[in-house]
Amino acid sequence: MKLVFLGTCSALPTPKRNTSCTALIQDNNEMWLFDCGEGSLRSLLSRTDTNVGNITAIFLTHLHGDHIFGLFSVLRWLTLHGITRTLDLIAPVGIKELIETVQRITDLDIDYPINFIELYGSKETILSPFNKSQFSANAIQKLGMPIIALPLSHRIRSFGYFLDIPYNYEMYSGEKEKSHRLLICGDTGNGYGRPPGTFFNQSEIPPSLSLGDTSSATPSSQQITTSSSSSICSPSSSATPSSSTQPFILRPEPKSLSVTSTDLQESYMGAMPMLGPSVTPPVTPKPLSSDSSSRPVRTTHNFGDAGDWERVERIVQYVDTLVHETTYPADRERDAEFWGHSTTVNTAQRAKRLKAKQLVMMHFSARYFKHSDDGLKLMKKETERECGPSIKVICPFDGTDLYLK
């Protein structure tokens, strides 16, 4: 069994790196995808060991575009090649409505059933084994391995997926030496200090723009085809999210936001600070210092908070491999807090707290390697220095294979 890193870049793809996508190829060649950013299908087709037709499950950590824009190409490919078996699609709430909307507007054909498992952001969700899960998901439950979705702190609902992968399926007994403990994280930070009214507002949602009232909703596990939509199970009432759970919307840009084409060009070349010279938030965050009171205050609603990682530690306890976003170097802590992402130090500290044997850095900002890999080399050194000698740090290229031993 191995991981194949098909996309390792963050929001802006480059000629050598696609946006987020990781494939887990099992011993029987069955394949699960974790995120599916733009370019994922081309990356899959360019390899001889990744048959797109072998995809039986897709896990989306969250619904930002750089993690899902390649999904529709993969769904279309499966139809064009006559795939008829059910596809398990595990993602935050909203994915079903998104795909139905794309189907309706673009005439997207999906000639096989999709088993939607939509996740809400309040508590962990057991996806497998089937006797402990409220969902029915044949592809991910037939092996019997424990799989848990864990909410993380980000601007929108984001999740990590913990898998306790058996080395030998027939002999799997849950013993430590017979499994590989893998945690693949979505985008996550320690909360963020975005000033009020900028870009997103997840606390005030006009009914006409809402994705739906989730105050009484329950996690859904549903099928969709081009001809019908039906429920395949009835989740227990104990899984009902709290009334405070709300979907997100993208609100209009504030009048104070003005970005010119020159600004965008300089930003892509890495010359412009992350907030940009023409972006003037209503409140200017103070520079960070060792005094926590001077740090930007989280003033807009955040799905998850810093306490989410404590829950991850309590449930997972330890891992063999941690795949974690590392968007920024250590000196970009202010940007990481603003956007709800992680620095090299954040990532290394979490790896140490989970007693990871190896850490895979992912989701790099393109500004650090557009012209050379020097920026990524420095980020890797920062991570290694913080991790210490007991953790192997891996900074993969697109196409890198990692065997789970």
Between 322 and 277, the more confident residue is: 322
- Which of the residues 66, 88, 164, 308 is marked catalytic? 66
- 231-241 residue pLDDT tens: 333 333 333 33
Lowest mean pLDDT among 44-58, 72-86, 148-162, 214-228: 214-228
Question: What pLDDT shows up at residue 366?
Answer: 84
- Closest by CA to 16, choosing from 47, 41, 48, 39, is 39
Torsions phi, psi of 319, nearest 5? -135, 155
Among 150-154, 216-220, 256-260, 382-386, which range has the highest average pLDDT? 382-386
Range of the domain at 201: 2-403
49-94 pLDDT tens trace: 889 999 999 999 999 999 999 999 999 999 999 999 999 999 999 9
CATH number of the domain within which 300 lies: 3.60.15.10
pLDDT category of residue 187 using cuts at 50, 70 and 90:
confident
- If one counts the domains in the chain, the total is 1
The answer to which of 82-86, 139-143, 182-186 has the lowest mean pLDDT is 139-143
Q: Does pLDDT of 210 surpass 50?
A: no
pLDDT band for position 354 (50/70/90)?
Answer: very high
Contact 119, 59 (CB under 8 A): no
pLDDT-derived band at 5 (thresholds 50, 70, 90) equals: very high
The Cα–Cα gap between 279 and 257 comes to 5
- Give the CA distances from residue 280 to residues 82, 166, 276, 389, in Å, rounded to whole numbers and listed in that order: 51, 51, 8, 43
Average pLDDT over residues 257-282: 35
Instruction: Provide the percentage of residues in the chain whose pLDDT is more than 90.
Output: 47
Residue 103 pLDDT > 70: yes
Section 166-190 average pLDDT: 72
Instruction: Answer yes or no: 109 catalytic.
Output: no
What's the confidence (pLDDT) of residue 194?
45
Closest among 268, 321, 325, 401 to 62, alpha carbons compared: 325
Lowest mean pLDDT among 64-68, 137-141, 176-180, 239-243: 239-243
* Confidence grade of residue 14 (pLDDT, cut at 50, 70, 90): confident
Does residue 31 carry a pLDDT above 70? yes
What mean pLDDT comes out for the span 214-234? Answer: 40
Query: What's the average model confidence in pLDDT over 136-149?
Result: 90
Chain center to CA of 358: 19
